Structure 1
Amino acid sequence: MGRSGTNSGLAEDLLIELNRDGGVPLHRQIEASIRASIRAGRLRTGASLPPTRALAAGLGVSRGVVVEAYQQLVAEGYLASRSGGYTQVAASMPPVAADAGSTASTVRPAARRAGFRIDFGYGRTDVSQFPRAAWLRSIRTVLATTPNDRFAYLDGRGVPELREALCDYHNRVRGTSSVPDNVVICNGYAQAISLLIQVLALHGARRIALEDPSSDDDARVLAAAAGLDVVGIPVGPDGVQVDALHRADADAVVLTPSHQWPTGGVLSATARAEVIRWAKHRGAIVVEDDYDAEYRYDRSPVGAMQGLAPDHIVYCGTASKTLAPGLRLGWMVVPPQLVADVAAAKVLADRGSPVIEQLTFADFLTRGEFDRHLRRMRPVYRRRRNALLGALRTHLPDLEPAGIAAGQHVVAWLPPDLEEAAVVTAAARHGLGIKGVGPYRIAGTGPGGLIFGYAPLGETAIAEGVALLATAIREVRGS
């Protein structure tokens, strides 16, 4: 085919169309195409462009035409020439609005997506602190030393190395009673609870109990889809109210006993023993979500319940709060009578979690890097927790903080004159993201409170956020 008419070749990386019969110089057409891609966000800052020779060959033009186009875009600030002859995108433009007649916004895309100046949204750890160098060493070790057969399909429980490393860690640090054969690796807690609900329904469960309030929206939706009834068990200052559990007629209960979410209460030794008696009497299962027990500041470690009754408790752990949620690494220590069915459900779901990530985490644990990372992060989060409490004392002394001794969030109960939803709405108007306790209640009643997730925020941002909240609350009270 000849070169006349329109050339729609991709030139390896760029979508550039040249119309040789249109009367517009070819270098101008190349300029316009690259400029439009940068302005539309298709070419991001730092993206490398093809070398001039390669692009010229792909477009069927002389190299001088491409050089002239690049030079013009460098002069305009869209491109930059780097050492070694590389040309990269130097400018970042916000995407053009969908309405072609409107003027493009000058707000940075990231700021527009976030929507808040400061966000106290819960559930986010500080991923900027991820131990990249140590993790990379473990990846290199895995790739250099892992036998070939580990990269084939494995059984649904996961690689033996990680199951053994997790047992060693949790038996030492959390007081569990776990053996590798009873560990199932999964993609975070969300998949763990999904698999467990499937298996519980298979074993004849009819009703599942959840703490009220509780963050376990996954369990609510999945249980309903599996045909199970869901009942809320009220939570007091020290965790779930066990007397209500006895009245619930449930076949399983999901608990956060070491740091109740969101109230922060710790289930007492007496209450734990009563929950275990309840489970043994009914032949029920307790799901222990141990989501952030590693982060504690003003109290002694609280051991896991699983070590007290391994035949009745499923212990769930995750790397989402300790390392990064994007790893999608979670695990369960499952009672012996359920292991085969949970592993089979895992195989049916996705044929098993990624092997390299599992082996990398196993090496990371075994070399003590996980312990070192936690020792480094505890004082960081403690300082941020202290900054939050100090700002609340200064700006909002009538709010009552709770659950402050551990974790990555604090609940602050509102005084009776403040309506939770009104405060959350007013805070949003001032550029502050914060959630109330109300949406996490199953029964829908209880005192108003705000959930402060402080883990990813610096101390200055925390203080500024509380000051914004104080302004919003004065506005609510004034109205």
Structure 2
Amino acid sequence: MTAAGGQPAWELLLPAAAAPARRRGRALQEALREAVRTGRLTAGTRLPSSRDLAADLGVSRGLVTEAYEQLTAEGYLRSDRGSGTWVGDAARAAAPEARGPADRGPAVRVDFRPGTPDLSLFPRSAWSAAHRSVMSRLPHGALGYPDPRGLPELRTALAAMLARRRGVVADPERLVVCSGVAQASTLLGFALHARGLRTVGIEDPGSPEHGRLFASTGLDALWLPMDEEGLLPGPLAASGVRAVVLTPSHQFPSGIAYSAGRRAALLDWARRVDGWIMEDDYDGDFRYDRAPVGALQGLDPRRVVYAGSVSKSLAPGLRLGWMLVPEGMVDEVVDRKRTMDLGNPALDQALLAEFVARGGYDRQLRRCQRAYRERRDALVAALRQELPGTRVSGIAAGLHVIARVPGRYGPPRSFLERAAAAGVALRPLEDYGTARPADGDVRLVIGYAHLGPAEIARGVRLLARACAPSGGGGGGRPAPTVPAGRTPTGGRSVSDTSD
């Protein structure tokens, strides 16, 4: 037997034969599997008899026979009675995609792309204490298959917290624990599809992820235009859709809060067409100039499906979220949740219930708000100093801002290319909708929550140097001193008043 490249096959197995006696058989099987997977033993290669291979390797014949039988059962080898053992053709090695240095792109030195909180702020000590507390008293029966709606104690704790913090109408019996807003969208999409809907409206600009999630349930996404007050009622009514996804407390990505008049108009539309609004309250707790704007759901819980999660407040990796479902839709959503995953992990739910009930969640939100406000201020100050003329909006809340960089710093495509070459990762506003402005300005959605103040300042300096207008430096006049805990403009944007 000869391996690919002319190497005697038994040499591939010598390390396995030298393994400790207790694991020599398993090592031999692993070595044979790897040789077949990687193509070192090619399909159609005839293997030595068990007696010959055992003699070559210095192991017992029974060890080789057992390895042949196991790999034959798995499909790596085939055995024809009376004619020996051969390498089968079922295994196919996954050839790594060849990528040269140019394909990988420049290394990212500072990443301003939005969507990620500071994961180092996760409250490890408090979470560990909650874990110990839960494990000391959780009954054995609680570790069985959970209620697909969620553990009763978590639904009760979340309902109380959401009513207090977000002003929602929160009945624990209508609250469904889910794997973040992503699963909430999917659950709602299936329920709407079952009711005959085939299209859902999404904000333009907005999150493309909404469209992708609803597409997975058979619903098409229709971009609907906005103005400075929120989604426009006229185009919505003309579209014929009966369901929309909104981010009214802090619109993503523009940063505006829907006006009271626009909220009322959209609820009137939903009642008139027998429609539904999904409210994605992705970062509603993070507002820095005053108390957060209350949730839309509080105005009409029969027409609004409210969804939120701990992805921005704790960590997206926990995959814990919630949705408040109108009474007439609860059974459909719960049935779909049951068939989808049988419910979220019981231990994780019990941990979150403990964390919320003991006040840990409120303390975590206060800690994050202090850190993120400081970073927001650092970003605004750095943009003023390093990229003079940049207009910043959407700074009153959330974890990102909209920066409109003057066209003198370069056409948008050139600006983004130079930024990438300097190691600064950015997302243009155009990635989040259909609008393609022709004024030459560069519109960016800049995330700051995951970066410290010093890293923010360094990133903006790198950006300014890379994208400096021809004939001038990247910096500008020093920014005015900003008192600790305040924004340069009292919580509103630097050059306009939208938030």
1:342 and 2:352 equivalent? no
Instruction: Specify the alignment match of 1:87 in structure 2.
Output: none
* Contact preservation (8 Å) 1:157, 1:184: yes
SS at match of 1:165: helix
Displacement of 1:202: 0.6
SS at match of 1:461: helix
Displacement of 1:242: 2.8
SS at match of 1:232: strand
Instruction: Specify the alignment match of 2:290 in structure 1.
Output: 299
Alpha-carbon separation, structure 2, partners of 1:113 and 1:362: 44
1:320 and 2:314 equivalent? no
Alpha-carbon separation, structure 1, partners of 2:313 and 2:27: 49
Displacement of 1:164: 0.6
1:441 and 2:451 equivalent? no
Instruction: Specify the alignment match of 2:214 in structure 1.
Output: 223
Letter in 2 for 1:184: V
| 1:3-152 equivalent positions in 2, closer than 5 A | 6=15, 7-9=17-19, 115-152=107-144
Of 366, 375, 379, the residue aligned with 2:357 is 366
Of 467, 470, 481, the residue aligned with 1:473 is 467
Aligned-CA RMSD value: 2.9
Instruction: Specify the alignment match of 1:34 in structure 2.
Output: none
Residues 174-208 of structure 1, C-alpha deviation per residue, up to 9 Å, x if partnerless? 00001011011111111111111111111111221
Instruction: Specify the alignment match of 2:391 in structure 1.
Output: 400
Of 368, 372, 375, the residue aligned with 1:377 is 368
Displacement of 1:472: 2.7
1:204 and 2:214 equivalent? no
Displacement of 1:99: 12
Residues 267-308 of structure 1, C-alpha deviation per residue, up to 9 Å, x if partnerless? 011111111111011111100000111111113321001011
Alpha-carbon separation, structure 2, partners of 1:208 and 1:175: 26
Displacement of 1:155: 2.8
Alpha-carbon separation, structure 1, partners of 2:376 and 2:178: 31
1:462 and 2:481 equivalent? no
Alpha-carbon separation, structure 2, partners of 1:150 and 1:334: 25
Alpha-carbon separation, structure 2, partners of 1:448 and 1:279: 36
Instruction: Specify the alignment match of 1:187 in structure 2.
Output: 179
Instruction: Specify the alignment match of 2:166 in structure 1.
Output: 174
Letter in 2 for 1:458: G
Letter in 2 for 1:244: P
**Structure 1 residues 12, 463: CA separation in 2 closer, same or farther (over 3 Å shift)?**
farther
Residues 400-458 of structure 1, C-alpha deviation per residue, up to 9 Å, x if partnerless? 11100011111112335543333222100001011101111146568741011101111
Alpha-carbon separation, structure 2, partners of 1:460 and 1:472: 18
Displacement of 1:375: 1.1
Alpha-carbon separation, structure 1, partners of 2:225 and 2:182: 23
Residues 77-135 of structure 1, C-alpha deviation per residue, up to 9 Å, x if partnerless? xxxxxxxxxxxxxxxxxxxxx999x9xx9xxxxxx999311101111100101101111
Alpha-carbon separation, structure 2, partners of 1:467 and 1:368: 40
**Structure 1 residues 194, 8: CA separation in 2 closer, same or farther (over 3 Å shift)?**
farther
Alpha-carbon separation, structure 1, partners of 2:148 and 2:105: 38
Alpha-carbon separation, structure 2, partners of 1:206 and 1:476: 51
* Contact preservation (8 Å) 2:106, 2:423: no
Instruction: Specify the alignment match of 2:422 in structure 1.
Output: 430
Instruction: Specify the alignment match of 1:47 in structure 2.
Output: none
Alpha-carbon separation, structure 1, partners of 2:413 and 2:178: 36
Alpha-carbon separation, structure 1, partners of 2:389 and 2:255: 19
Alpha-carbon separation, structure 1, partners of 2:411 and 2:451: 26
Residues 7-53 of structure 1, C-alpha deviation per residue, up to 9 Å, x if partnerless? 35379999x999xxxxxxxxxxxxxxxxxxxxxxxxxxxxxxxxxxx
Of 278, 284, 287, the residue aligned with 2:278 is 287
SS at match of 1:205: coil
* Ranges of 4+ aligned residues in structure 1 off by more than 4 Å: 10-14, 443-448, 475-478
**Structure 1 residues 10, 312: CA separation in 2 closer, same or farther (over 3 Å shift)?**
farther
Displacement of 1:475: 5.8
Letter in 2 for 1:426: R
* Contact preservation (8 Å) 2:185, 2:214: no
Displacement of 1:228: 2.7
Instruction: Specify the alignment match of 2:321 in structure 1.
Output: 330
Alpha-carbon separation, structure 2, partners of 1:438 and 1:146: 49
Alpha-carbon separation, structure 2, partners of 1:226 and 1:385: 37
TM-score (norm 1): 0.75
* Contact preservation (8 Å) 1:414, 1:420: no
Displacement of 1:149: 2.2
Displacement of 1:395: 1.1
Please, which runs of 5 or more residues in structure 2 have no aligned partner?
1-12, 29-95, 473-499
SS at match of 1:386: helix
Alpha-carbon separation, structure 1, partners of 2:22 and 2:190: 48
Alpha-carbon separation, structure 2, partners of 1:200 and 1:17: 53
What count of residue pairs does the alignment treat as equivalent?
387
SS at match of 2:212: helix
Moved more, 412-421 or 266-275: 412-421
Of 447, 451, 464, the residue aligned with 2:445 is 451
Matched-pair identity in %: 42
* Contact preservation (8 Å) 2:108, 2:424: yes
* Contact preservation (8 Å) 1:426, 1:475: no
Alpha-carbon separation, structure 1, partners of 2:173 and 2:132: 27
1:387 and 2:381 equivalent? no
Please, which runs of 5 or more residues in structure 1 have no aligned partner?
19-97, 106-111
**Structure 1 residues 378, 163: CA separation in 2 closer, same or farther (over 3 Å shift)?**
same
Alpha-carbon separation, structure 2, partners of 1:119 and 1:364: 31
Alpha-carbon separation, structure 2, partners of 1:119 and 1:403: 19
* Contact preservation (8 Å) 2:387, 2:405: no
TM-score (norm 2): 0.72
Alpha-carbon separation, structure 2, partners of 1:396 and 1:248: 41
SS at match of 2:468: helix
